Structure 1
């Protein structure tokens, strides 16, 4: 019986070897045949460009042409009889463009079909959509150099604020945004402001701002209209400032002035990061499979004449955490993406240009936590961000987390 099993095993092994040899020979024969045959594509790799009906999409097509030499070559002037090879169409040439991008572009009044019926905030955004350069009227050129350790900050806290929000800024200074050395790491805080104008019915607060800045030296202010749609301008201006004034920052938290941030938890999280994980870090409360809101009654409304398509994954603008290395790359990518009126979506677009995406982290609660836990100090122990909190609540929560007698299960 044992002999029979040995013979059967030998036959199975022999058949397996023969089958393997057959497959190998067949595969090589197929490769040899391929070497003798020239494969000719049935159509051009680059298809003929067709203009988008949506204004933002068309601006992106123009930028893609400018920054993609292969695409530009495929659509360059050519007298070939090939129907797919034509001169660059007028809509891509952008003829008649004012060389000063910060002058209002009145061509949008005819290029956006429903321009006259759009709300004023859209008209203002479209007229100045090309402008990315505004003068910095309040700067902190040495804020990242005068750290106690003499080294670049480990964590840069960049807080989007408005001129009238004095109480929010002061509460942040006294709580989670306190600059200095925290958990043996250097933390620097700056507040990002534009101009509040009489057009938006704001009082003149310039004297109070001057006093505040003289005392704290942590305000950055640019000379542009500080509106909801201009938060994207604030984003690109901050990236420009960061690469110039604070290029050595290892990590950046960027968020609103009505969120509570557990800076201690963030520092503990960052402590264990290294290599590619640290270099490409971008975490927050990520929104996926989203698209433009077509409801005219909400502030996030985007008309079809402006944008069509779906949004890339993006982190909610309440706040997100990313590396300084990635911030520098985002600065470069932003030059290849037209300004979009929703800043967190725009940042997601820039990430996509880098073939990256944001990472969702359960510690970011941009839509708050359950009401029954909001007065529980331990509910904040493992979180990085909670939205939204009043100035008084920020100070209270920070006191809870720094209480040496606080014990949590």
Structure 2
């Protein structure tokens, strides 16, 4: 007879195994079990253990085990908490933010520098005992030069060494890049009386000096200033300077007569080219903020579009205050990328810009609130000029965290030919492009007819 080794989980429980004749007996301080050889009688299955201890002690042992386990957990949690010091900063193993690598494309690289300078979260970093500013770190790179209104901007010839294929670029790109840092020019013609009474809607039309017929057709149709549908409408035409270098005739005397006759021309002393339409937008926003901050809404478009001004006023009157504050609608283009074909008007070389365009409204015309206009004016100081004006406006909106909203009434790519001579086709539209001066007057007469009935 040999004793059985006690279990470590039950330190007070001793077991013994003894043989008595043909039977084996297991005995302990809690219970005793007799085990015999197999039998065939019905009474064999009736043998049960004989309990010598109460169930209370068994339950007590179980409770003690649970309590010990809970104490162990509490002790470990206390140890872990003791290792954390709330007064010391927790430094993650990997960097959350790092300075991006400079782009190889000229515009992107310059914009990275400007964005870095205007980032409110970035402060000069300390290296040893020396404070290194971003300007010092990037002193070899050219920065935007904001000239005063009385200065004549000079070309920046350093760009010729910063773009690898500068010499092979089209001349329009060379001209744009040389003067890209210039964004303030003297004003040649102003219209101080346009906003003497606060306009509900300000129509800002981009035009060229020789386009006398277009401007006059707009004045006689959709751009007529005054009261329309119980709202005050004002109109200005945005002009640069055209000269002999671009083979334009000298019409300056006629232009000054037009300005004195109508008082609605705004002209700045810069070269009026396709790539400078962006500059025209920036200069207008400055003028609007200084001379016409009382305007509530602004429509800005080209002088070859037809605009249903009544439709615009009806749309604006139905807006909620919240919707009106962040309004920017037009014919929105999304997921566009630069054209790389040199034969196209909108060609952008890879050495100048890389990446997709943000959502933007086609430059034929779009509608926005004066609140958005002020924000665009402010944020434009942090976005470098870009050769395509409507894309540039999209870049500024993106930086503001705004997305232009698509409006089905803006048809910058015309309407189906079968509807072009139908008066009712224009009744619910906002804008159609393109239209000649004669067509503008004709269509305005159609939709102004009080007898017009459309389904």
User: TM-score scaled to structure 1, two decimals?
Assistant: 0.86
**Structure 2 counterpart of 1:234:** 280
**Structure 2 counterpart of 1:79:** 128
Structure 1 unaligned residues grouped into runs of 5+:
1-28
Secondary structure at the residue paired with 2:122? helix
| CA distance in 2 between partners of 1:296 and 1:405 (Å) | 51
1:180 aligns with 2:229: no
Task: Point out the structure with max Rg over C-alpha.
Answer: 2
**Structure 1 counterpart of 2:13:** none
Secondary structure at the residue paired with 1:93? coil
- State how 1:233-382 maps to structure 2 within 5 Å: 233-382=279-428
357-366 vs 85-94, which deviates more?
85-94
| CA distance in 2 between partners of 1:395 and 1:69 (Å) | 51
Higher strand fraction (1 or 2): 2
| CA distance in 2 between partners of 1:89 and 1:378 (Å) | 59
| CA distance in 2 between partners of 1:62 and 1:93 (Å) | 11
| CA distance in 2 between partners of 1:60 and 1:66 (Å) | 10
Could you say what the CA RMSD is over the residues aligned between the two structures, in angstroms? 2.3
103-112 vs 85-94, which deviates more?
85-94
| CA distance in 2 between partners of 1:190 and 1:94 (Å) | 42
| CA distance in 1 between partners of 2:258 and 2:143 (Å) | 41
1:97 shift after superposition: 6.4
Alpha-carbon distance change, 176 to 233 in structure 1, aligned in 2, over 3 angstroms: same
**Structure 2 counterpart of 1:112:** 163
Misfit runs of 4+, over 4 Å: 35-39, 85-91, 94-101
| CA distance in 2 between partners of 1:397 and 1:96 (Å) | 50
1:133 aligns with 2:179: no
1:100 shift after superposition: 6.9
Superimposed CA distance per residue, residues 341-367 of structure 1 (whole angstroms, 9 cap, x where no aligned partner) = 000000000001110010000000000
Superimposed CA distance per residue, residues 280-306 of structure 1 (whole angstroms, 9 cap, x where no aligned partner) = 000000000001110100110000111
1:384 shift after superposition: 0.2
Secondary structure at the residue paired with 1:357? coil
**Structure 2 counterpart of 1:18:** none
Secondary structure at the residue paired with 1:52? coil
| CA distance in 2 between partners of 1:48 and 1:285 (Å) | 36
1:218 shift after superposition: 0.4
| CA distance in 2 between partners of 1:373 and 1:261 (Å) | 16
Q: Is the 8 Å Cα contact of residues 206 and 239 (structure 2) preserved in structure 1?
A: yes
**Structure 2 counterpart of 1:17:** none
| CA distance in 2 between partners of 1:130 and 1:185 (Å) | 39
**Structure 1 counterpart of 2:194:** 143
1:164 aligns with 2:210: yes
Secondary structure at the residue paired with 1:175? coil
**Structure 1 counterpart of 2:64:** none
1:398 aligns with 2:444: yes
Q: Is the 8 Å Cα contact of residues 161 and 191 (structure 1) preserved in structure 2?
A: yes
Secondary structure at the residue paired with 1:156? strand
1:71 shift after superposition: 2.9
Alpha-carbon distance change, 242 to 98 in structure 1, aligned in 2, over 3 angstroms: closer
- Out of 262, 267, 271, the residue aligned to residue 225 of structure 1 is 271
| CA distance in 2 between partners of 1:312 and 1:261 (Å) | 26
Q: Is the 8 Å Cα contact of residues 78 and 87 (structure 1) preserved in structure 2?
A: no
**Structure 2 counterpart of 1:53:** 104
